[in-house]
Structure 1
Amino acid sequence: MTPSTLMGPAPAAAPAPPLAARAASVGASPVREILALTERPEVISFAGGLPAPELFDADGIRAAYDRVLAGEPHRVLQYSTTEGDPALRNAVAERLTGRGLATGPDALLVTTGSQQGLTLLATALLEPGDTVVVENPTYLAALQCFGFAGARVVPVPSDEDGIDPEALAEVVERERPKLLYLVPTFQNPTGRTLPLARRQAVAEVAARHGLWVLEDDPYGELRFEGEHQPWLSSLPQAADRTVLLGSFSKVMAPGMRLGWLRAPAALRRACVIAKQSLDLHCSTVDQAAAARYLADSDLDAHLARVRDAYRARRDALVDGLAAALPDGSTWNRPEGGMFVWARLPEGHDATALLREAVARDVAYVPGAPFFAGTPDPATLRMSFTTHTPEEIREGLRRLAGVLRTSR
C-alpha cells in the first residue's frame, strides 16, 4: 500500500474566511456600471461626469512631462515625500490665495484625486458608528466612502439653493454628527450652488455645535456666469474646522489622478500618516509635470476656453429639455459645473426607463442612487460636457422617444 492509501482520503479544504462586513455592505457604484453600458460609440451619453477629452491641453501637458523627464529624470522617477511635490503645493497655494483663501504650501497635502482625500479624512476622523450628515441628494462616491468607514449617514433636506441651514441645525441638534459633507458649488449630482447667506449659516451651525465640515470643490473653477461664492473654508466662523478638497481632474486631466487637501495642521498630519499606509505618495513624475505645467502654461486661458465650450453645451441641453422630457417635468439651469438635475412627473421611474433609453442609444444617470435617505425615483442627472451642442440635440431627440411616450 502507498502512504496515501494508509492515510485515507485527504480532508476537504476549509473555506476561506469571509470578506469584511463593510465590503459586503457597500454596493458597487451604479454610475460606474451605467458607464459600462454606454461604451458603444453610437451612444450619446449624458451619464458620465467626465471632462471633454478634446479640450484637454494635450500638447501643453506632454511638453511639461518632456521637460521634467529631460531635466530631472533622477528626481521625478524616484520616491518622494508623502506631503507632495513642493513646487506643486506652492502653485496650488498661490492659486488659492489669489482667489481669496490665504494658504501656504505647508497647509496642503497632495492626493490621488480629491477622491483619495475623502478616504484619508474618513480614515483620520471616523470611528465605526460615527454619524456623518450630508446634503440630500449627494455625491455617490462619498456615500460609498463613508459606508466603508462604518459611518452612519444621515441626510439633510435640500432645495434649489442647496442644503437647508435650518434643517441642518435641527438634524445636528438631534443626531450629534462628527462631520458634515458638502459640495457647495455646482454640486454633483444637482449642479446647485449654495448662496453666501446659506454658507454663513452652515458655518455658524458647525461652529456652534462643534463638527467638522468637509467642503468638496472639484467644479468651482468651471463657472460660466454669475458671481464667485467664497469657500466655507474662508469664513471665520468655521475656518478652524473646515477641510477643503480640490482636484486637477476637471481643470487639467483626470488621468493624472491628482488632487489636494487643505486642512488644519493636526488633521492634515493625521491624513499624511493615513496616506503613508495607503500609497506612500502620489506619482512623483505626475506631480512634477503638473507643477511644470502650471509654471509654463496659462491654466486660466485654458479654463476660459473650457468654460466657453461648456456654456454652449449647457445651453443646448437646458434649452432642449422642454421638448425631450414629459410635460410637467422640472429642471435647473446651473451657472457652471457639469450637471443638470431634472425631475420627471409623479409616476415616472428614471431607473426603469434607462434600459429602454440605452436601447435607443442615449443614456443618463437615474437620481435614486444619490439619495442617502428615501430616494426619489423620478429624478435624473444629466451631464452636458462630453458632447457638442449638435450631438446634445440629437441625444435629446432620442430621449424624447423614450420619455415622452412613457407613463
Structure 2
Amino acid sequence: MPDAIPAAASAPVPQLAARAARTGSSPVRDILALTARPEVISFAGGLPAPELFDAPGIAAAFQHVLTEHPRRALQYSTTEGDPALRAAVAARTTARGLATAPDDLLVTTGSQQGLSLLSTALLEPGDVVLVEDPCYLAALQIFSFAGARVVPVPTDDEGLDPAALDEIAARERPKLLYIVPTFQNPTGRTLSAERRAAVAAVAARRGLWIAEDDPYGELRFEGEPVPWVTSFPGAEDRTALLSSFSKVVAPGLRLGWLRAPAALRRACVIAKQAADLHTSTVDQAAAARYLAVEDLDAHLVRVRDAYRERRNALVDGLAAALPEGSRWNRPAGGMFVWATLPEGYDATALLPEVVRHDVAYVPGAPFFAGPPDAAAARLSFVTHSPAEITEGLGRLAEALRSARREG
C-alpha cells in the first residue's frame, strides 16, 4: 500500500510573470470606479455621450443580421474580419484621403487590441519604444507587458518635437514610435502637417516602425483635416494605422481596425489567431449593415455639434474654475483638454478633496513616461451636457478653494 502524502506538503503556487508584477492598473480606470456614483460630474473618463448613440439604428442592424443571416452571424469567422465591414472601412479611409483596399485591413476588438497585436508582432523584451510625453496610458501598459524599454520624446504646445525625436532615435536605436497625432490623448493636441512630414522623414532615416493611433480624427469641430502620418514620404512602408468605431458609433461594440504593410499585417493576423481567433462575428455583421444603411456622416455632424458646444462650455469656464496662473488649451476636436495648475499645486494630491465635492478629473502625472508634471490634469468634455459642465466647474472651483484654505 503506497505511503499517504502528508497534508502539510503543499508548496506555494508559482509567482506571477514579471510583466504582471511590473505593470500597474490604469489610474483612469481606478478613478472611474471611484467616481461611479451618479451624483459625480466626472471630467475623468473619455466616455462618449451615451444619449448621442444611435441606439435605434444599431438595434435595427443587429435585428437584420440575426433575422436574415443568423447562421452566418452566429458562426465562427475569419481572423481578418467580415469582408463587408472591411470593404466599408476601406471605402471610408480612401474617401478621407488614404487609398486603402479591404485586404489592407485587419478588424480588431477595439483599436486597443490592434496596438497589442502590433506589440506582440514587433517587440522583443528590451526593445526600445519611443512615445510622446505625455502619452496615452493604455499604450504604456501594453509596452510594459511586452517588456519594452519606453523612452519619452519631449512635446510642446504643438505636439511631438521632431528634432528631439531625431536626436533620441539616433541615440536609442528604437524599433517603434507610438503617436496619437490628431487630438491626442491626453493633451488634445494636433500635430501639424509640417511636423508629420518631419516625423515620417526621421522614421525613414533612423529605421523604425510607426504606430499611428487615430481614434479621434473624425471628431473635428473646426479647421481642415491633416493627412495621416502614413501618407507622408518615408512613412508609407513602415506605418501601422489604428482606428476604432468606439468614438464614432459606440464603444460597446469593441470594434476597431488596423491598416499595415503586408508582412506586418500577416504577423498581426497570426497574433490575433493566438489571442481570440477573430473579433465577434455578429458585432462585425451588424456594424457592416449599419454602415450600409445608415448615414454615419450625418450622425457625426450631430455628435460634433454637441461636442463643440461642450468643449466651449468647459474651456470658457476654466478661467473661473482654476487658480490664477493656470494654463489650458482649446483643442480643435477630440475629447480632451489639458490643463496645468500654477507652480506648487499637485493635481494628484488635490484629487481626494475634488472627489469629495462630487466632481473629478484625471491627474496628468500617470501619462508621463519621463518625469511627470505634477500640476497637469486631463479633463474630458464629452460625457456631460453644457449645463452639467458648468455645474461641475463650480464644484471644482470650490474644491480647489477648500483645498487651498486647508493647505
The TM-score, its normalising length taken from structure 2, stands at: 0.98
Partner of 1:347: 344
Question: Of 28, 39, 44, which residue of structure 1 is paired with 2:41?
Answer: 44
Cα–Cα, structure 1 residues 327 and 16, in superposed 2: closer, same or farther, change >3 Å? Answer: same
Q: Is the 8 A contact 2:245 2:254 kept in 1?
A: yes
Query: Does residue 116 of the first structure (1) align with residue 113 of the second (2)?
Result: yes
Structure 2 residue aligned with 1:189: 186
Amino acid at match of 2:369: A
In the TM superposition, what is the alpha-carbon distance from 1:58 to its structure 2 partner?
0.3
Superposition pairs of residues 314-325 of structure 1, within 5 angstroms: 314-325=311-322
Render the CA deviation track for 1:143-174: whole Å, top value 9, x for unaligned: 00000000000000000110000000010011
2:353–2:399: 8 Å Cα contact kept in structure 1?
A: yes
CA distance in 1, matches of 2:5, 2:169: 65
1:390 match: secondary structure: helix
Report matched runs for 1:353-392 at 5 Å. 353-392=350-389
2:71 is aligned with what amino acid? H
Secondary structure at 1:246's aligned position in 2? strand
- Structure 1: unaligned runs, 5 residues or longer: none
Paired with 2:5 and 2:295, the residues of 1 have a C-alpha distance of 76
Residue 197 of structure 2, aligned match among 193, 197, 200: 200
Corresponding position: 1:179 with 2:141? no
Query: C-alpha distance in 2, partners of 1:345/1:39?
Result: 29
Say whether 1:240 aligns with 2:244.
no
Please give the alpha-carbon distance, in whole angstroms, between the structure 2 residues aligned to 1:363 and 1:75: 44
Alignment correspondent of 2:136: 139
Structure 2 residue runs of 5 or longer lacking an equivalent are: none
Q: How far off is 1:11 after superposition? A: 3.1
Q: 1:233 Cα deviation (Å)?
A: 1.2
| Residue deviations 1:240-299 (CA, integer Å, cap 9, x gap) | 101100000000000000000000000000000000000000000000000000000000
Please give the secondary structure, in 1, of the residue aligned with 2:9: coil
Matched, 1:302 2:299: yes
Deviation digits for residues 169-197 of structure 1, max 9, x if unmatched? 01001100000000000000000000000
Amino acid of the residue matched to residue 280 of structure 2?
S
Of the structure 1 ranges 232-241 and 381-390, higher mean CA displacement relative to structure 2 is found in: 232-241
> Which secondary structure state, in structure 2, belongs to the residue aligned with residue 311 of structure 1?
helix
Q: CA deviation at 1:404?
A: 3.7
2:281 maps to a residue whose letter is T
* Cα drift, residue 9 of structure 1: 4.6
Deviation digits for residues 219-248 of structure 1, max 9, x if unmatched? Answer: 000000011000011112211101100000
Which position in structure 2 is the counterpart of 1:78?
Answer: 75
State the distance in 2 between where 1:9 and 1:138 align.
Answer: 53
TM-score for both structures, normalised by structure 1: 0.98
Counterpart CA distance in 2 for 1:39 and 1:8 is 50
Q: In 1, distance between residues paired with 2:102 and 2:242?
A: 14
Match of 2:14 in 1: 17
Equivalent residue runs for 1:78-117 within 5 Å = 78-117=75-114
Residue 325 of structure 2: aligned partner: 328
Query: Which one-letter code corresponds to 2:365 in the other structure?
Result: A
| 2:197–2:233 Cα contact (<8 Å) kept | no
Supply the distance in 2 between the matched residues of 1:10 and 1:34 (Cα, whole angstroms): 44
Residue 210 in structure 1 maps to residue 207 in structure 2 = yes
Aligned mates of 2:247, 2:230 — CA distance in 1:
21
**Equivalents in 1 of 2:247, 2:379: separation in Å?**
17
| Alpha-carbon separation, structure 2, partners of 1:342 and 1:109 | 36
Q: Which amino acid aligns with 2:157?
A: E
CA RMSD of aligned residues (A): 1.1
* Matches of 1:230 and 1:69, distance apart in 2: 38
1:273 is matched with 270
Cα separation, 1, equivalents of 2:256 and 2:92: 14
Aligned residue identity for 2:81: G
The count of residues paired between Structure 1 and Structure 2 equals 404
Once the two structures are TM-superposed, the CA of residue 140 in structure 1 deviates from its matched residue by 0.2
Q: 1: CA distance between counterparts of 2:5 and 2:355?
A: 57
Is the CA contact 1:129–1:150 (under 8 Å) kept in the aligned structure 2? yes
Aligned counterparts of 2:128 and 2:243: Cα–Cα separation in 1: 24
Q: Residue by residue, what CA displacement relative to the aligned partner does 1:90-139 show, whole Å, maximum 9, x if unpaired? A: 00000000010000000000000000001000000000000000010000
Runs of 4+ in 1 over 4 A off after TM superposition: 6-9
SS at match of 2:312: helix
Within 2, Cα distance between the matches of 1:389 and 1:364? 16
Residue 219 of structure 2 corresponds to which residue in structure 1?
222
Say whether residues 1:164 and 2:161 are aligned partners.
yes
What residue in structure 2 maps to residue 128 of structure 1?
125
Q: Aligned in 2, Cα 1:11/1:214: closer, same or farther, shift over 3 Å?
A: same
User: What one-letter code is carried by the residue in structure 2 that aligns with 1:178?
Assistant: K
Counterparts of 2:174 and 2:199, CA distance in 1: 14
How far apart in 2 are the matches of 1:305 and 1:404? Answer: 37
